[in-house]
C-alpha cells in the first residue's frame, strides 16, 4: 500500500464520495487473550525512512456518511450533521460496509496489493444523552446510568461530574474470549445551547469466525449493555421498547 493507491481508490468511489481529507493514521489496537503484561508501543518508522501513510477521509455527498482508509484499517461511519438527521439503523450501515469492503478487496486484487487478512473487527456506538427530562446536571448521573452511586455520607458528597472507562470480556460461541466491550463516559456541554450532556461511547472489538463475522456479536453486546447500564427512568423518557 502506497500513497498513490489512496488516489486510485478515490477514482472508484468519487461519484458518491466527492470530498477528501487527510488525517494522521490511527494506532493499531488489538484485543489479546491473555493480555500482554507490557502493552507494546505503536510502531513508528525509523528516522530517515518513508513517512507514515495517512488516513484518508472520503466524505459522502450527503455529508452524513464517511469512509476512512489507512494502510491497515477500513472504516465506515455515519455521523449526525443536522438536528433532523436520523440514524439509518445498524443493518443499513453494515450492508454499506460490506459493499465498501468488497469493492476494496477487488481494488486490492487489481493493484496486486496481496490478499487482505482480517485480524480484528470493531463497532462503535456514540450516544449523546442530553439533559432535559429525567436529569438536568452532571451530578445527577445516577438518574441516567445504573453503574454509578453517590457516596451516602457528607464526605465527599455528590460528585460534580463523573468520567470513567470500563472493559468487559465478550465470550465467543465456544466459550473462549472473542473480544472486549469498552465503555467510556464523559461529561460535556452541547455547543449550540451549552446544555449538559453525557457522551456514552460503546466499542466492541474482537474476532469471531472469519472476516467480519464479529460485527453482529459486537452489536448485540452494545445494544444489550446500553439497556443494562441506563436507568428505567431514561428508558421511559426515550420510550424505549424492549
Q: What is the pLDDT of residues 46-79, one digit of tens each?
A: 666 677 899 999 999 999 999 999 999 999 999 9
Residue 59 lies in a domain: yes
Residue 115 lies in a domain: no
- Identify whether residues 104 and 165 lie together within a single domain: no
The pTM score is 0.90
Per-residue pLDDT, 132:
92
Residue 136 lies in a domain: yes
pLDDT grade, residue 200 (50/70/90)? very high
Beta bridge pairs of residue 239: none
- Identify whether residues 161 and 229 lie together within a single domain: yes
Instruction: Give the 3-state secondary structure of the chain.
Output: CCHHHHHHHHHHHCCCCCEEEEECCCCCCCCCCCCCCCCCCCCCCCCCCCCCCCEEEEECCCCCEEEEEECCEEEEEECCCCCCCCCCCHHHHHHHHHHHHHHHHHHHHHCCCCCCCCCCEEEEEEEEEECECCECCHHHHHHCECCCCCCCCCCCCCCCCCCEEEEEEEECCCCCEEEEEEEEEEEEECCCCCCEEEEEEEEEEECCCCCCCHHHHHHHHHHHHHHHHECHHHHHHHCCCC
pLDDT at 127 over 70: yes
Q: Which residue has the cell 491473555?
A: 34
- Identify whether residues 127 and 168 lie together within a single domain: yes
Per-residue pLDDT, 46:
63
- Identify whether residues 207 and 137 lie together within a single domain: yes
Residue 167 lies in a domain: yes
Q: What percent of the chain lies above the pLDDT cut of 90?
A: 76
Domain edge (last residue) among 80, 110, 140: 110
- Identify whether residues 163 and 233 lie together within a single domain: yes
- Identify whether residues 99 and 201 lie together within a single domain: no
Quick one: average pLDDT of 170-174?
90
Residue 50 lies in a domain: yes
132-148 pLDDT per residue, tens: 988 999 999 999 999 99
Task: Give 218-223's long-range contacts (Cβ < 8 A, gap of 24+).
Answer: 218/121, 218/122, 218/123, 218/170, 218/179, 218/181, 219/90, 219/94, 219/123, 221/168, 221/170, 221/181, 222/123, 222/125, 222/181
Is residue 75 within 8 A of residue 58, CB to CB? The reply is: no
Number of structural domains found in the chain? 2
- Identify whether residues 74 and 170 lie together within a single domain: no
Domain edge (last residue) among 67, 88, 110: 110
Q: What angle do CA 17, 222, 65 make, to 5 degrees?
A: 10
Residue 99 lies in a domain: yes
Domain edge (last residue) among 110, 134, 165: 110
- Identify whether residues 80 and 126 lie together within a single domain: no
Quick one: average pLDDT of 105-111?
96
- Identify whether residues 206 and 136 lie together within a single domain: yes
- Identify whether residues 153 and 104 lie together within a single domain: no
pLDDT grade, residue 210 (50/70/90)? confident
Quick one: average pLDDT of 28-41?
80
**Residue 174, domain extent:** 121-238
- Identify whether residues 134 and 87 lie together within a single domain: no
- Identify whether residues 11 and 44 lie together within a single domain: yes
Residue 125 lies in a domain: yes
Residue 209 lies in a domain: yes
Q: What percent of the chain lies above the pLDDT cut of 70?
A: 93
Amino acid at each position: 500500500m502506497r500513497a498513490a493507491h489512496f488516489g486510485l481508490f478515490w477514482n472508484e468511489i468519487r461519484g458518491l464520495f466527492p470530498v477528501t481529507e487527510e488525517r494522521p493514521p490511527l494506532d493499531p489496537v488489538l484485543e489479546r487473550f491473555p493480555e500482554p503484561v507490557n502493552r507494546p508501543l505503536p510502531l513508528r518508522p525509523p528516522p530517515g525512512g518513508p513517512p507514515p501513510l495517512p488516513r484518508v477521509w472520503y466524505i459522502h455527498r450527503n455529508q452524513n456518511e464517511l469512509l476512512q482508509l489507512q494502510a491497515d484499517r477500513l472504516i465506515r461511519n455515519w455521523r449526525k450533521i443536522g438536528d433532523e438527521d436520523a440514524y439509518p439503523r445498524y443493518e443499513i450501515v453494515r450492508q454499506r460496509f460490506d459493499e465498501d469492503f468488497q469493492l476494496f478487496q477487488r481494488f486490492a486484487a487489481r493493484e496486486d496489493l496481496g490478499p487482505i487478512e482480517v485480524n480484528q473487527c470493531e463497532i462503535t456506538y456514540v450516544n449523546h444523552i442530553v439533559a432535559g427530562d429525567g436529569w438536568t446536571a452532571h451530578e445527577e448521573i445516577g438518574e441516567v446510568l445504573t453503574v454509578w452511586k453517590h457516596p451516602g455520607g457528607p464526605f465527599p458528597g455528590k460528585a460534580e461530574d463523573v468520567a470513567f472507562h470500563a472493559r468487559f470480556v465478550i465470550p465467543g460461541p465456544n466459550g473462549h474470549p472473542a473480544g472486549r466491550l469498552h465503555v467510556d463516559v464523559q461529561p460535556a456541554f452541547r455547543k449550540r445551547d451549552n446544555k449538559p450532556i453525557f457522551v456514552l461511547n460503546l466499542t466492541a472489538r474482537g474476532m469471531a469466525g472469519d472476516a467480519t463475522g464479529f460485527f453482529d456479536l459486537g452489536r448485540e453486546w452494545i445494544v444489550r449493555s446500553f439497556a443494562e447500564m441506563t436507568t428505567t427512568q431514561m428508558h421511559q423518557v426515550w420510550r424505549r421498547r424492549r
